[in-house]
């Protein structure tokens, strides 16, 4: 009875607010934190039966590799685990994960039924013991297990960071082999992490700079198959290509889709002079956007389609300019030392990535769309051709090493300048174009 009374007193106390009659809360402001990869754990997903075991392991490994690859997360090795997750539905032993400082935990289960693959997963904030978002089930086919894993990782990423992921995406690029003076180039496409490489052209003609359509179903690229550089459009699904007829007897290159996918902007060479043009894809009609004796090339639309950033040497050296999408007066935005080229507008619209050449080195950098706050992210003998991840967080580019044995490799870097790393391709790789997130 005493206990009961005690509880009763307690209950009354708890229910009567305010509990603390004295001073108010202690108020503090914190404006300095740390930036470090968040430790996470992905215990192997639980297979429903033996047939799912290998998929369960492989999917968890790809999820972990995706997250680690961002540089924002750090995987805690399973060697350190205290808990084993043997049932997807059992309560999570948060204390065991806190003890190894896992701040995020991904649990999952995998079922295989014939060709059908089902993945269920949950994301946990370990220190608060709360689930981040709801559990999600993904269903697909077994041969698409990698994409399912990427989708799981995209969910985990966006639930923790608050921005969209980029793992279930593809990259088009130029696969390079052979020596520098006899280089063979083929158009290729792969998963963002270098898996599932497929070739879209043979190496009979030089191909350059593929560019994804906004929906990812088509690629623009430049090929020498006619003897001169000309623009082609390739249906990625059918692997069928078609030349885009520009003016006769001229060279055209450096194409890029408008954000609505209905028109392209490109460079056209006439009488040795390179200007920017736009073509409406439905009608095939082209209109001139610039008309100067200078070189104008490497155009890229703003995500809203209203502006174009491009490279021009009208000032004497290559610099970056922004003009209305219909042409008109261009505003120079690059004023630092050196030469600027290949500007690319971020899908978020807030930054422009570019190639910079200064004092014998090449850099990939980013600046605000008005040219402010220029930051260089990389430095090497030759870096060029940035492309943005679908969420605007990562930049992929070409790095070429110097000398007779020089070789091109794809690299990626976080826009903070951290987490520089090569992207593995079977041969050399250049001119990446990062496609959209897949459906």
Partner 1 sequence: MDTGTKISAIAHVSLIGWALFGGTFKSEPLPMAVQDVSVISAEQFAALTAQRNAPEVPTPPGTLQQPEEPEPQANAPEPVQEEQPSPEPVTPREPEPEAEPETVEAPPEPEVIEEPPVLIEPETETAALPVPPGPEAQPRPADRIAPEAIAPPPPEAKPDDVETPPVSLDEGAETQQEQQDQTAPEEAAPEIVTEAEETEDQSPRTSPRPRVRPNRPTPPAEPVVAETPEPAPETPSQNDEAAINDALTEALEGGAEPSGPPLTSGEKDAMRVAVSRCWNVGSLSTDALNVVVVVGFSLNRDGTVVGNSVRKLDSSGGSSAAEGQAYEAARRAVLRCGSKGYDLPADKYDQWQDIEITFNPERMRIK
Partner 2 sequence: MNVLGKILALGALSVIAACSNNDPSALGGGAGGSGAIVPGSPSDPRSPAYFQQTVGDRVLFSVDQSTLTPQAKTTLQGQAEWLLANSDYVAKIEGHADEQGTREYNLALGARRANAAREFLISRGVAGNRLQTVSYGKERPIEICSTEECYSKNRRAVTVLTGSTLG
Question: 266-325: which residues touch partner 1 (CB under 8 A)?
Answer: none
Whose tokens are 């063979």? That residue is 184
Question: 393-412: which residues touch partner 2 (CB under 8 A)?
Answer: 400, 402-404, 406
Selection from partner 1, partner 2, none that 402 binds (CB < 5 to 8 A by kind) is partner 2
Nearer to partner 1, 38 or 287 (CB): 38
Considering the complex, what minimum distance in angstroms separates the CB of residue 203 from partner 1?
17
DSSP notation for 145-190? HHHHHHHHHHHHHHHHHSS---SSEEEEEEEEES-GGG-EEEEEEE
Cα–Cα separations (whole angstroms), residue 91 to 87, 277, 352: 9, 61, 46
Question: 398-437: which residues touch partner 1 (CB under 8 A)?
Answer: 413, 415-424
Q: Check residue 258 for interaction with partner 2 (CB under 8 A).
A: no
Nearer to partner 2, 130 or 250 (CB): 250
The answer to whether 185 and 207 are in contact (CB under 8 A) is yes
Residue 351 makes CB contacts below 8 A (sequence gap 6+) with 345, 366, 367, 368, 369, 392, 415
Among 108, 122, 175, 384, binds partner 1 (CB under 8 A): 122
Selection from partner 2, partner 1, none that 269 binds (CB < 5 to 8 A by kind) is partner 2
Question: 30-69: which residues touch partner 2 (CB under 8 A)?
Answer: none
> Per the structure block, which two tokens stand in for 402?
């110097």
Site string for partner 2, 344-363 (x = CB under 8 A): -----------x-x------
Question: 124-183: which residues touch partner 1 (CB under 8 A)?
Answer: 125, 127-128, 131-132, 134-145, 147-148, 151, 155, 160-163
> Per the structure block, which two tokens stand in for 244?
């885009």
Helix (H, G, I), strand (E, B) or coil at 281: coil
Among 226, 291, 350, 370, binds partner 1 (CB under 8 A): 350
> What residues form DSSP beta bridges with 278?
265, 287
Which DSSP state fits 337?
A: S
Among 376, 395, 396, 437, binds partner 1 (CB under 8 A): 376
Question: 13-72: which residues touch partner 1 (CB under 8 A)?
Answer: 13-14, 19-38, 46-50, 53-54, 58, 61-62, 64-65, 69, 72
Distance of CA 286 to the CA centre of its chain: 31
Residue 127 makes CB contacts below 8 A (sequence gap 6+) with 94, 98, 103
> What residues form DSSP beta bridges with 6?
none
- Closest of 143, 134, 215, 202 to residue 174, by C-alpha: 202
> Per the structure block, which two tokens stand in for 102?
């896992």
Distance of CA 265 to the CA centre of its chain: 22
Selection from partner 2, partner 1, none that 34 binds (CB < 5 to 8 A by kind) is partner 1
Considering the complex, what minimum distance in angstroms separates the CB of residue 255 from partner 2?
11
Q: Check residue 414 for interaction with partner 2 (CB under 8 A).
A: no
Considering the complex, what minimum distance in angstroms separates the CB of residue 273 from partner 2?
7
Distance of CA 18 to the CA centre of its chain: 50
Selection from partner 1, partner 2, none that 342 binds (CB < 5 to 8 A by kind) is partner 2
Q: How far apart are CA 401 and CA 91, in angstroms?
A: 52
Residues that bind partner 2 (CB under 8 A): 179-183, 206, 208-209, 227-229, 249, 251, 253-254, 267, 269, 271-274, 295, 297-298, 311, 313, 318, 339, 341-342, 355, 357, 381-382, 384-385, 400, 402-404, 406, 431
């Amino acid at each position: 009875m005493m206990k009961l009374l005690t509880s009763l007193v307690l209950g009354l106390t708890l229910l009567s607010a305010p509990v603390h009659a004295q001073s108010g809360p202690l108020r503090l402001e914190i404006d300095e934190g740390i930036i470090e990869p968040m430790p996470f754990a992905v215990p192997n997903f639980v297979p429903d039966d033996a047939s799912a075991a290998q998929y369960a392991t492989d999917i968890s490994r790809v999820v972990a590799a995706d997250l680690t690859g961002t540089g924002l997360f750090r995987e805690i090795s399973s060697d350190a685990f205290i808990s084993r997750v043997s049932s997807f539905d059992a309560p999570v032993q948060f204390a065991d994960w806190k003890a190894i400082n896992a701040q995020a935990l991904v649990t999952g289960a995998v079922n295989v039924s014939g060709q059908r693959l089902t993945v269920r997963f949950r994301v946990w904030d370990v220190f608060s013991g709360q689930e981040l978002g709801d559990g999600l089930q993904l269903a697909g086919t077994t041969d698409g297990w990698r994409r399912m894993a990427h989708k799981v990782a995209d969910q985990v990423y966006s639930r923790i960071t608050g921005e969209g992921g980029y793992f279930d995406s593809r990259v088009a690029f130029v696969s390079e082999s052979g020596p520098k003076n006899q280089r063979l180039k083929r158009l290729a496409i792969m998963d963002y992490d270098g898996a599932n490489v497929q070739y879209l052209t043979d190496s009979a003609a030089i191909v350059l700079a593929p560019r994804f359509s906004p929906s990812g179903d088509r690629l623009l690229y430049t090929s020498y198959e006619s003897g001169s550089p000309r623009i082609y459009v390739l249906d990625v699904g059918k692997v069928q290509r078609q030349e885009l007829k520009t003016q006769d007897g001229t060279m055209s290159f450096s194409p890029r889709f408008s954000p609505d996918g209905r028109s392209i902007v490109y460079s056209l060479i006439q009488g040795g002079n390179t200007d920017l043009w736009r073509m409406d894809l439905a009608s095939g009609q082209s209109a001139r956007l610039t008309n100067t004796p200078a070189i104008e090339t490497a155009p890229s639309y703003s995500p809203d389609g209203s502006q174009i950033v491009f490279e021009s040497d009208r000032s004497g050296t290559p610099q970056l300019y922004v003009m209305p999408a219909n042409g008109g007066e261009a505003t120079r935005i690059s004023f630092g030392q050196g030469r600027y080229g290949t500007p690319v507008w971020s899908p978020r619209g807030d930054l422009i990535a570019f190639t910079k050449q200064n004092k014998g080195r090449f850099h990939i950098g980013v600046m605000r769309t008005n040219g402010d706050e220029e930051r260089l992210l990389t430095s090497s003998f030759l870096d060029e051709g940035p492309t943005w991840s679908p969420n605007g967080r990562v930049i992929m580019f070409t790095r070429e090493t110097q000398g007779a044995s020089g070789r091109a490799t794809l690299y990626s870097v976080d826009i903070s300048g951290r987490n520089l790393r090569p992207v593995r391709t079977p041969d050399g790789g250049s001119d990446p174009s990062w496609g959209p997130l897949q459906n």
